[in-house]
Amino acid sequence: MLDINFIQENKQSVIDAIEKKCMKVEIFDGVVTRSVSPHEFVEFLLETDNKRQNLRRRIDDLREARNKLSTAIAGATGKEKADLISKAKQTKGELEKYEPELEGIERDFSELMLRIPSVPTKDVPYGTSDADNIEIRKWGEIPKFDFEPKDHVELAEILNIIDIPRGVKIAGTRSYFLKNEGALLELAITRFVLDRMVAKGFTPFLVPLIVKDEAMVGTGFFPGGEEQAYRIEKDKLNLIGTAEVSLTSYHSGEILSEDELPKLYVGFSACFRREAGTYGKDTRGVYRIHQFHKVEQVVICKNDSDVSREMHNFILNNSEEMLQALGLPYRIVIVCSGEMGQGQVYKNDIETWIPSRNNYGETHSCSTLHDFQARRLNIKYKDSKGELHFVHTLNNTVIASPSILIPILENFQQSDGSVLIPEVLRPYMNGKNRIEPKK
């Protein structure tokens, strides 16, 4: 959410942001809901705010008049008192008319404000798909095989570590079982990255997987992302798609002190996503599934763009270090405007090399949101002068599994079908150095 004063003073920038992020916007004009242009949407929002402010002033004036009349009535007698009582009744009637009207306008205003995106930073490239992302660096050597390499599905069958058919039988499409060394490998990766993050000063969390609507709205996943979320309708609760939701909401409604910032949090959770709109895309294997595990970084810092950029580079580097320790080739891209979320002002993706694609595939996302989430969640801090500010928030994947198993299996496969286990994971695998094919 943005400050309405910012929107008023930077109207064209907000209109441009809606266009650049390829957002579809609608308004309800009292009769029907209809799609409108970004310009029309912002103008409608500002008109609604103007009505809201005028009505607030009208109600404030009426309440002040009511209070004065109450005082005057107490000291009046005869006809004067009767006239004052009559005016008081008229004032009460007007308040009974205008107060419900204000409640409706406030609801409309809030709904419109929740649809306004953050303005991307100037270094975000314009684009409409991931083809418009800009590569900024690469790391690692692409493996060259002297045999015909297998994809992760073939390897998983040979190694007996992933069972997709039985996952589908039990839970439906895009489901799977991890078993044997596959299960142990995911746990090894998780513990490895958590140990690394704690050593860097991050506080570890196991977070709630089921959250209220307030947490989904507060972090920017609602409204607009409902079709991706698993909803527990009976209880009006939601399964999270990332630990970001729970971790960023942790301080909702609180006032922190400047000297306790930045907050460095790392959360481990199961994650649930419907993958709506991806029918027929990445259906083979475990790249795009409904349930997975993720270790997520969340940073809460001062309301300062330079500090946010410093924190962004810090958490991005943390994820790069994990991939380098695993020995996996990757590249970093600046995500274009049309591929960014509503609240993000700047975003990098890390794409790891996947041999079966002969290309890189996205495995990590690093996002800066400035005070977009903090305004929704009402997270503030008090500076040394006693002044209050909304915090800035950032998040980044440390590792997600089983998607990270794909490049591990495919990059470290051997001609006999075995897979070498990255050296840093071997202590977490009881010293095992490879996964052998099962007879």
By CB atoms closer than 10 A (0-12, 13-18, 19+), residue 120 is buried
* CA-based nearest residue to 361, from 349, 378, 377, 374: 349
Beta bridge partners of 210: 239
Write the pLDDT tens digit of every residue in 61-76: 999 999 999 999 998 9
Give the pLDDT band of residue 224 (cuts 50, 70, 90): very high
- Model confidence over 11-65: pLDDT tens digits? 999 999 999 999 999 998 777 899 999 999 999 999 999 999 999 999 999 999 9
Tokens of 25: 């916007």
- pLDDT value at residue 32: 82
Stretch 277-304: mean pLDDT, rounded? 90
The pLDDT value given to residue 29: 78
pLDDT value of residue 5: 97
| 297 SS3 class | strand
pLDDT at 31: 78
* Percent over 70 (pLDDT), the chain: 99
Answer yes or no: is pLDDT of 308 > 80: yes
pLDDT over 90 at 102, yes or no: yes
Q: Please check the confidence at residue 271 and state whether its pLDDT lies above 80.
A: yes
The model carries a pTM of: 0.94
- Strands 237-239 and 230-232 turn out to be antiparallel
**Which residue reads 């960023």 in tokens?**
248
What gap in Å lies between CA 351 and CA 357, rounded to an integer?
12
Distances 220 to 49, 194, 347 between C-alpha atoms, Å: 21, 26, 15
Q: Span 7-12, mean pLDDT?
A: 97
Give the Cα separation of 15 and 23 in Å (integer). Answer: 10
Q: How many residues does the chain have?
A: 439
What local confidence, expressed as pLDDT, does residue 394 receive? 98
- Of the candidates 202, 283, 310, 296, the residue with the CA atom closest to the CA atom of residue 245: 296
* Domains of the chain, CATH where assigned: 4-113 (1.10.287.40), 130-435 (3.30.930.10)
**Per-residue confidence (pLDDT) for residue 313, from 0 to 100:** 98
Lowest mean pLDDT, pick from 157-171, 274-288, 303-317, 375-389: 274-288
Check whether 196 has a pLDDT greater than 80. yes
Per-residue pLDDT, 326: 98
At residue 83, the pLDDT reads 92
Percent of all residues in the chain with a pLDDT value above 90, rounded to a whole number = 95
Q: What is the mean pLDDT of residues 367-381?
A: 98
CA 143: distance to chain centroid? Answer: 33
pLDDT of residue 276: 77
Cis check for the bond before 402: say yes or no (omega within 30 of 0): yes
What is the β-pairing status of strands 380-382 and 388-390?
antiparallel
Average pLDDT value over all residues in the chain: 96
Q: How far apart are CA 303 and CA 324, in angstroms?
A: 31
How sure is the predictor about 96, in pLDDT bands with cuts at 50, 70 and 90? very high
CA nearest to 75, candidates 60, 89, 85, 64: 85
